[in-house]
Structure 1
Amino acid sequence: MASEMKVEVNYKETIKPSSSTPPHLKTTQLSVFDQLSPDVFIPILLFYPNNINSGVVDSIDHPSLVVERSKLLKTSLSEALTHFYPFAGEFQYNFSISCNDHGSAFIEAQVNCPILKILERPDAEILRQLLPTGIGSTQAETGYLLLIQATFFECGGLAIGVSSSHIITDACTLSTFIQSWAAIALASNSVTTDHVLLTPKLGVAVSLFPQLDFLNSPQPALKFDEEKCITKRFVFEASKVAALKSKAVSTSVPNPTRVESVSALIWKCATTVSRSNLGVVRPSEWSPVANLRKILVQQPLAENLMGNLVGMFSVKTEAIEVVDIDIPSLVAKLRKGVEEFKVKYGNGVSGEEACGFFREFGNLMKRDVDNYNCSSWCRFPFYEANFGWGKPLWVCQSTGMKNLIVFMDTRDGKGIEASLTFSEEDMAKFECNKELLAYASVNPTVM
């Protein structure tokens, strides 16, 4: 299918904020968390079918539809950038964003197939073509901190690909931006006035989490593992998640969450895959990314901060445990890890402690253990992004780093889509793991 599908770029332009950024906001200082974030891009894709009765699709003036929707996206993006002015700025390594209204990139593209062809059996290689830049790109290479690609399908469907620099965004910030952008577009295309525009807290994080001077010097670039890896989508429907949660119940955790239950299952299957490949039992570590906005209970200002505000902790199993490990015991470990993290950092995080999160991440790569990194994007309202032609049919992210697991909600908000990236050898075993397949479907149709 990848060879049959052809994405053609119609044009690329720079979208500037609709109003100039005031002089007192011309510089946004980075917090220590922004300083520590790698110079890569966070990608998200939102798919919108044409929502037009199939009987009249052929009579649609497709060129006019493309012009109309593209214009709305650009106009609303321009207004959104006045509220998220650092997104239109330039990176001043590694201490600030010059909010000089440089602008964000907007790419309009078209593809020679209907949107359902993509959604029938999503392919990671094809999805990457719908993004404006690769995850491993840098701000210096692209010339922007935010890039948008609007790809129009021959049926009138649309995919919006957003690539935002990790220097200024984590998943929470990206979600807030997309919500606000969509709300502006919907308000301008609607007679109602009940659309709520979120007010981002920009430039505030540095007062709570001051910079560290030594981070202003060039840091090593993030290196992606050169081993050939494969990213696959495993979908846990609502009923399967409910069954898995029931299986995960224990005396210590009578109420396991969706993410805890799915994490435990994938972790257990990963230990089985490792043992099968190596012929020996190795200790393993599960390293979740934590949204500190939900942890810092003594710092209410942190709740709606924009930028980066994430930490990481590791939960471990020793080799002797791995042989007979079960899902309830893994869930108990995960819950204990979360609670200990909350106790340790609920009152605040110092710059040195923030460095420790990322230093620990680097050390995990060097130890003689199996390490699995997990980021949950669940509960972020990506599926609420209505630009004026309905809510997205499907939302996905496309990050690929070895042994990385990313969770997204299914469209109903009750299931989980897990994106797994592993070596080819490991992935072959995941795809036929009976315990995993009892709860998850491998890349089912979105429809």
Structure 2
Amino acid sequence: MASELKVEVTHKETIKPSSATPHHLKTVNLSVFDQLIPQIYIPLLLFYPSTSSDEVNDIDHHRSFVVERSKLLKKSLSEALTHFYPFAGEFQHNISISCNDHGAAFLEAQVNCPISMILDRPDLGMLWKLLPSGHTSYLLQVQANFFECGGLAIGVNISHKVADASTLSKFINSWAAIALGSASTTDHVVPPAAYGVAASLFPPLDFLNAPQMPSSDSTNSGIKEKCITRRFVFDASKIAALKSKAATTTVPNPTRVEVVSALIWKCAAEASRSNLESVMPSAWCQTVNMRKVLVSVLAGKDLLGNVFGLVAGQREEIVEVDDHDLQSLVTILRKGIEEFKENYRNGVSGEGLCQLFKEVVNLIIRDDIDSYSCSSWCRFPFYTSNFGWGKPSWVVTPNVDSKNLIVLMDTKDGDGLEASLTLKEEDMIKFENNKEVLEYASLNPSVI
């Protein structure tokens, strides 16, 4: 498929909010969480295969089909931007967003193959063609990819400084609900008052207020080595078996994320150690949705923007994975999360957050530790986003080529788990042939 996939952008325009942003909402301060995020973009792809009623039989039918859906996407996006008005704004250094209705980039593209060519055996390296690029003057960029068969893939790039996975899922579901015509009754549409709350609770810090150069595309500047990204799918029955194997009296009911993370950590570190032919300690760094940690602080508040923390093994918990089984690693992961909750359940200061991020980043960049960075998007309801042609068959956030990066997402049924994993080439060769990995995971199975 790699040599055959051609994506031709046929139209570009700017989508502005359907109603002008009121004067008193023209400036939204960033929170300290937002300030600490580099100016990169979060990519997201939602795939909607054609249904029998969508079958495109001739060129004229295809053209009218594209016009109809594109018109609906643009109109509903314009309405959604009145609720998520900072997404249509522009940065003012690293302190606030000018909500000036600058707009979002919207691109239409034609893809020269049926959508099944991608969904049958996804080529992760080709997915970037379905995402908008080169439009960094916009905080939000959308590309509607129309396939020959009538299928559609919606590609979204959003500035990480205005949204984390939680906020992005709220936006996607709100946009879809508006398109479906249920905006007046849905709970997904977020009122404007939700913005600014995070900055009032976690105000920006003056010393972080400096101009930032926007990134040129959706990649970040991670550790650049020759890396490979692979997709592994764990179905519900395999996860149940993993949970049974990993359960202990300390952690009798491990979660999906814990057992899959422990297995990936164990086997990736084994592959790395085998290639290095030396023993190196390793660490697992995990993002945590702070909305679920700061429960008492955020009572009744629905925070938008970035509200997440980083958890990593403390110095004494940096382990040599060869000496630990799956149960031990699950225990370490659980202990890290529990200690994190205990430390921050009553709040976090801006200075404390800066120190936390600094410590974890310094751990990740150390060359004497094998560190793995994991972001879990599980339980965010991307699969409920119905624009009027059903729910998506596949939702994916393509990995950047940054060493030892793992992204976890739900499968469509909500019970399984997909892991997108980027490792050094020589490590991936051993990882994807590891018998323990293949006992519980399928390597890049068909989506359909």
TM-score of the aligned structures, taking structure 2 as reference length: 0.94
Q: CA RMSD in A?
A: 1.9
Task: Give the equivalent residue in structure 1 for 2:306.
Answer: 308
Query: How many corresponding residue pairs?
Result: 437
> How is 1:248-263 mapped onto 2 (pairs within 5 angstroms)?
248-263=246-261
Structure 2: 5+ residue runs without aligned partners?
none
Rounded to whole Å, the distance in 2 between the matches of 1:334 and 1:366 is: 20
Instruction: Give the counterpart of 1:285 among 283, 286, 309.
Output: 283
Identify the residue that residue 412 of structure 1 maps to in structure 2: 413
Partner of 2:199: 206
Cα distance, 1:195 vs structure 2: 3.4
Shift of 1:367: 4.8
Paired position in structure 1 for 2:222: 224
Q: What's the secondary structure of 1:86's corresponding residue?
A: helix
Equivalent residue for 2:270, pick from 266, 269, 272: 272
Give per-residue Cα distances to partners, 1:114-139, cap 9 Å, x unaligned.
00001111112210000112xxx7xx
Query: By how many angstroms is 1:286 displaced?
Result: 0.3
Corresponding residue for residue 98 of structure 2:
98
SS in 2 for 1:313: strand
Where 1:399 maps in the other structure, the secondary structure is: coil
Per-residue deviation, 1:402: 1.2
Query: Which deviates the most, 36-45 or 355-364?
Result: 355-364
Q: Give CA deviations for 1:250-286 in whole Å, capped at 9, x if unaligned.
A: 0100000000010010011012112201112211100
| 2:172 is aligned with 1:186 | no
* 1:238 and 1:415 in contact (8 A); partners too: yes
Which whole-Å CA distance do the structure 1 matches of 2:243 and 2:49 have between them? 33
Does residue 196 in structure 1 map to residue 187 in structure 2?
Answer: yes
Q: 1 CA distance for matches of 2:96 and 2:338?
A: 34
Please state whether the residue corresponding to 2:440 is helix, strand or coil.
Answer: coil
Cα distance in 2 for partners of 1:374, 1:214 equals 28
Residue by residue over 1:194-240, the C-alpha shift from the partner in whole angstroms, topping out at 9 and shown as x without a partner, is 43343251111111001110001246986232212111101001111
Partner of 1:3: 3
Q: Aligned in 2, Cα 1:193/1:167: closer, same or farther, shift over 3 Å?
A: closer
Match of 1:427 in 2: 428
SS state at 2:181 partner: helix
Q: Secondary structure at the match of 1:66?
A: helix
Contact 2:21 2:101 in 1 (8 A): yes
Q: Could you tell me whether the CA contact under 8 Å between 1:281 and 1:322 is conserved in 2?
A: no
- Cα gap change, 1:217/1:383 in structure 2, threshold over 3 Å: closer, same or farther? same
* Cα distance in 2 for residues equivalent to 1:267 and 1:121: 25
8 Å Cα contact 2:227/2:423 also seen in 1: yes
Could you list the structure 1 runs, at least 4 aligned residues long, displaced by more than 3 angstroms after superposition: 192-197, 218-222, 316-321
CA contact (8 A) 1:230 1:424 kept: yes
1:232-381 to structure 2, matched below 5 A, reads 232-301=230-299, 303-315=301-313, 321-364=320-363, 365-381=365-381
Structure 1, 99-108 or 221-230: larger mean CA deviation: 221-230
Q: Output aligned runs, 1:10-29, within 5 Å.
A: 10-29=10-29
Q: How does 1:57-96 map to 2 (within 5 A)?
A: 57-58=56-57, 61-96=61-96
Q: Evaluate the alpha carbon distance shift between residue 97 and residue 146 of structure 1 in structure 2; reply closer, same or farther with a 3 A threshold.
A: same
Deviation at 1:389, TM superposition (A): 0.3
- C-alpha distance after superposition, 1:282-313 (max 9, x if no partner): 11100000000000022125852000011101
**CA shift in 2, pair 1:88/1:443, >3 Å:** same
Q: Secondary structure at the match of 2:338?
A: helix
What are the Cα deviations for residues 372-417 of structure 1, in whole angstroms up to 9, with x where unaligned? 0000000000000000000000000012221110000000000000
Partner SS state of residue 392, structure 1: coil
CA distance in 2, matches of 1:255, 1:269: 22
Q: Is the 8 A contact 2:280 2:320 kept in 1?
A: no
AA partner of residue 310 (structure 2): M
Distance 1:398 1:303, change over 3 A: farther
| Aligned match of 1:176 | 170
- For 1:219 and 1:213, how far apart are their aligned partners in 2? 14
| CA distance in 2: counterparts of 1:440 and 1:259, whole angstroms | 14
Distance 1:367 1:349, change over 3 A: farther
Percent of aligned positions that are identical: 64
State yes or no: 1:30 paired with 2:24: no
- For residues 48 and 184 of structure 1, what CA distance do their matches in structure 2 show? 17
One-letter amino acid of the structure 2 residue matched with residue 207 of structure 1: S
Map of 1:125 onto structure 2: 125
